[in-house]
Structure 1
Amino acid sequence: MNAPWKTGISLALTIAISYTVCALLYALWPVQGIAFLNALFHGLDFGRLQAPQDYGVMTFVGPLLVLTVWGAIVGTLFAWLSGKLHGKSS
């Protein structure tokens, strides 16, 4: 049985990679990114939420850190609870 923190780190890294790819795609093609979100959410207009400022390093790093830490905590908690529910000790 893996330690719960390993699952937490796995989730955190998965989130960090996914967020980085998403941010890169949005930085390269913001108009297409908004159009994709509009289609994904059945026509909601995400263009109204688009910030007037440019997308920069700090706009990327802040959410990346929050999401990564959150992923580590949630993944660890999930693995620990799953182990308890399945009768495995860790």
Structure 2
Amino acid sequence: MNTPWKTGLSLALTMAISYTVCTLLYVLWPVQGIAFLNALFHGLDFNRLQTPQDFGVMTFIGPLLVLTVWGAIAGTLFAWLSGKLHDKS
């Protein structure tokens, strides 16, 4: 039986891994990352969002924690609601 908190943990870990990979790709290739965002959002100019500030550990950790906690809460809530809607305990 899959409990809601396991689904929440799965989403949290998925978000943490995805964010880490995205960050690594952006750190390695920032120009290509911005170009990809421009293409992904139909030409919206993300170049203005680039700052001259270096990307540091705290710039990574803060959003990582927020996304992970949010994923855990959202995934747990989703699984709980899904179980209720499908008449499962």
Taking the aligned partners of 2:50 and 2:78, their CA distance within structure 1 comes to 34
Letter in 2 for 1:81: L
5+ residue gaps, structure 2, are none
Taking the aligned partners of 2:11 and 2:76, their CA distance within structure 1 comes to 9
Matched, 1:32 2:32: yes
Taking the aligned partners of 2:56 and 2:49, their CA distance within structure 1 comes to 17
Taking the aligned partners of 1:46 and 1:16, their CA distance within structure 2 comes to 23
Which structure 1 residue ranges, 4+ long, deviate > 2 Å from structure 2? none
Identity of aligned residues (%): 88
Figure out how many residues of one structure are paired with residues of the other and give that number.
89
CA RMSD across the alignment: 0.5
Per the alignment, residue 21 of structure 2 pairs with: 21
Per the alignment, residue 84 of structure 1 pairs with: 84
State TM-score, norm by structure 1: 0.97
